[in-house]
Structure 1
Amino acid sequence: MPSIAQSAMRRVCAAILITLLAACSKPPPAPAPAAAPVSVAVAMRKTMPDLLAAVGTVEAINSVAVKSLVDGQLLESHVKDGDEVKAGQLLFRIDPRPAQASLAQANAALAKDVAARELAKAQVDRYDPVAKKGFISADQMQQYRTAYEAAAASVKVDQANVAAAQLTLGYTDIHAPFAGRAGRILVQPGNLVKANDTNALLTINQVAPIFVNFAVPGAYVESVRTAQAKGALRVQARGDGVKTAQSGELAFVDNAVDPATNTIKLRAQFANAEENLWPGQFVNITLTLGSDADAIVVPDAAVKAGPNGYYVFVVNADKKAAQRAVTVARSVAGESAIAKGLDGGETIVVDGQSRLTDGTPVQIAEAKPAGEAAATK
């Protein structure tokens, strides 16, 4: 049988063995998390414009459907399809001979009645001294005076007829009421035209300067009117076929918000000297209401939307990402103005946010200013 000392030794060895086995069964310590690769930018303080965007429709300032004011045959056309016309330029000529004949008749009637008036006047002058001496009756003298007044009235009627005939003759030459661009000629020489016919001879649109009509949400009425009270508001137009952005000024704000759409109609005027804007064209409008001189600006890519609002990841001095809630004032040209939550000079993540949680170590690329980062995106 084993001795008492041997039994004690076995128990001690067993205890040591159990302790060693327990130590070997513990898991190894977790390794430190790997740094997530990210791109960053620096929040900047800069001037940030306050812009409103809308879709507008180009409209001619003046548009006229040219029609004849007299009946007759169209003899000549002095304009071609799409021509640029000047104010007062001769466009069409209608056969003037009927109007010339009417004017000749009116002049003849005027000459006849002028002669009759002069005869009546001579009779009044001749018999007035005689009547005063009582050699002719007062009734007969009154007849002479009445005949003269009637002849004078006839002359005035004839003069009015002559003026009307001259006006009608003037209508046989049709001139451009203003400078603009002619459309397609709708009536060719040789056709008969009627005064104020339903069909126009052609349409002229004034395209320089030109209007652009657009609408913005009714919530911006106060902002627009407040900005307009400080001075002229700058408007830019861009669109398909527009070579360069066109600059103009806000010219009109409607006096009521449309209750059907909750929008208010605005109108901008553009010089359009090169005729880049064309009536009926759709363009993208940018209305500048003002600017913030010291706004904190970050690239749009840095701002993410979460269940509790917008947030960004800020890189701390220990190169760890910290999620921070922010308030976005507005976004312009790929940049967001931050109203609350950031300060200028802070480093924020612009790419790689999907790998981050609050406190994740980051491996950052070269930091760029916010404006430069937005431009290279």
Structure 2
Amino acid sequence: MGSRVVFAVLVLGAAAGAAWLEFGRPPAPGGAQASAAAKDQGPAVPVMAGEVGRGDVEIDLSALGTVQAFNSVLLTSRVDGQIVRLNFGEGEDVHAGDVLVELDPQPFEAALAQAQSMKLKDQAQLNNARLDLERAQRLVTTGAGTTQQLDTARAQVAQLEASTKADQAAIDAAQVQLNYSRIRSPLDGRTGTRLVDAGNIVRGNSATGIVMINQIHPVSVSFALPADALSRVRARMKLGDVRIIAQDRNDKKLATGKLAVIDNQINVATATVVCKATFENTDEALWPGQFVNVRIELDVRRNAVTVPPTAVLRGSEGTYAFIIDASSVVEKRPVKVDFSNQRVAVIAEGLSPGEKVVTDGQYRIKAGTLVEVVQSAAPRAAD
């Protein structure tokens, strides 16, 4: 029986020792607590990130523009007539003064000849009336004639002089009509598709026209800017020409031009102001009717701190960014933005070159969140 008692005591002692090892021993420093903290933090959240950079950045404005012909003319006839010849090809370069269309000249030549004949008739009558006036003056001087006869002769001369002047005006008008039968290009440009074929009868000043001529060397681009940007653009214009970059929808550079004009009033309905830029367009990279992205270059920030624009967020307390530390834990930090566009944000305060910032996925994280970078985006500086 003594041996049973001893065995029971040993079993109880072993159980008590095991319990002390499990529950009574003080925890090792940081052990269970660190494990619990890691467990509370959860799995890493996937985000995209970019690195804070430094470089020269162009301060510019962006807009959507439409290419327009520098000058555009719908070639029309100023008189009625039948087209007997078209002296241009479709899509052909023409020059100011070129005869592009010839109308049947016969009706106009006949009208001119009639006006000239009328003047010859009236001129002959005028010459005879002047002789009559001279005779009437001699008769009055000798007392053989009356002053009434003299006055009548003078009136006849004056009447015929007026008639000859009217005849000359009719000749000039007929000559103008004849000249209008040869339709000339009013500018240097390129023809479009013809709207009327030879043989057709055209009407004077018809809205249909014969062909559209567009001047594309140079060419214009029209775009609208926000009204609050007007002061910056006008201030830059005082320093010299404002460079304008035209790009395609993939931001590929097409041409470089300069700002030509700012409209004289702001559209109150849209709070924008219309501007026009001029491009030499020697390579014809721009075509009337084409949509282009426009960049208006205002300044260059030298040695600026830059981040991708999506890294900067705005909240109730202002602008901020999420910074990723060496442990892949994010910090929410206030930042001051000097300039931002679709390509880059220039940071005045809050970030340093080399730091890593979250550029996408911010809605899933907060300060202290463990993250995993799945893709990086580099900031862009000046092109």
TM-score (norm 2): 0.78
User: 2:83, 2:198 within 8 Å by CA — same for their partners in 1?
Assistant: yes
Offset at residue 50 of structure 1 (A): 1.7
One-letter code of the match for 2:261? F
Offset at residue 221 of structure 1 (A): 2.6
Residues 279/362 of structure 1: CA separation in 2 closer, same or farther (3 Å cut): closer
Task: Name the CA distance, whole Å, in 1 between partners of 2:134 and 2:114.
Answer: 30
User: 1:314, 1:323 within 8 Å by CA — same for their partners in 2?
Assistant: no
Partner in structure 1 of residue 345 of structure 2: 336
Partner in structure 2 of residue 288 of structure 1: 297
Task: Name the CA distance, whole Å, in 2 between partners of 1:155 and 1:225.
Answer: 60
Offset at residue 192 of structure 1 (A): 1.7
Task: Name the CA distance, whole Å, in 2 between partners of 1:172 and 1:165.
Answer: 11
- The yes-or-no answer on 1:89 pairing with 2:98 is yes
SS in 1 for 2:306: strand
Offset at residue 78 of structure 1 (A): 0.8
Task: Name the CA distance, whole Å, in 2 between partners of 1:370 and 1:243.
Answer: 18
SS in 2 for 1:61: strand
- 1:1-377 to 2 correspondences below 5 Å: 22-23=20-21, 25=23, 26=25, 27-28=27-28, 29=31, 41=51, 43-44=53-54, 46-239=55-248, 244-300=253-309, 303=312, 309-313=319-323, 323-332=332-341, 334-343=343-352, 345=353, 347-349=355-357
Offset at residue 222 of structure 1 (A): 2.5
User: 2:50, 2:378 within 8 Å by CA — same for their partners in 1?
Assistant: no
User: 1:242, 1:277 within 8 Å by CA — same for their partners in 2?
Assistant: no
Offset at residue 238 of structure 1 (A): 1.3
Task: Name the CA distance, whole Å, in 2 between partners of 1:351 and 1:153.
Answer: 88
Offset at residue 329 of structure 1 (A): 2.7
User: 1:314, 1:346 within 8 Å by CA — same for their partners in 2?
Assistant: no
1:69-105 alpha-carbon deviations (Å, 9 max, x no partner): 2222111111122222111111111100011011111
Offset at residue 332 of structure 1 (A): 4.6
One-letter code of the match for 1:310? Y
Offset at residue 171 of structure 1 (A): 0.8
Unaligned runs of 5+ in 2: 3-8, 39-43
One-letter code of the match for 1:211? S
Offset at residue 54 of structure 1 (A): 1.2
Offset at residue 284 of structure 1 (A): 0.8
Unaligned runs of 5+ in 1: 3-9
Offset at residue 216 of structure 1 (A): 2.2
User: 1:114, 1:155 within 8 Å by CA — same for their partners in 2?
Assistant: yes
Aligned residues: 362
Please provide the CA RMSD for this pair. Answer: 4.2
Offset at residue 313 of structure 1 (A): 2.1
TM-score (norm 1): 0.79
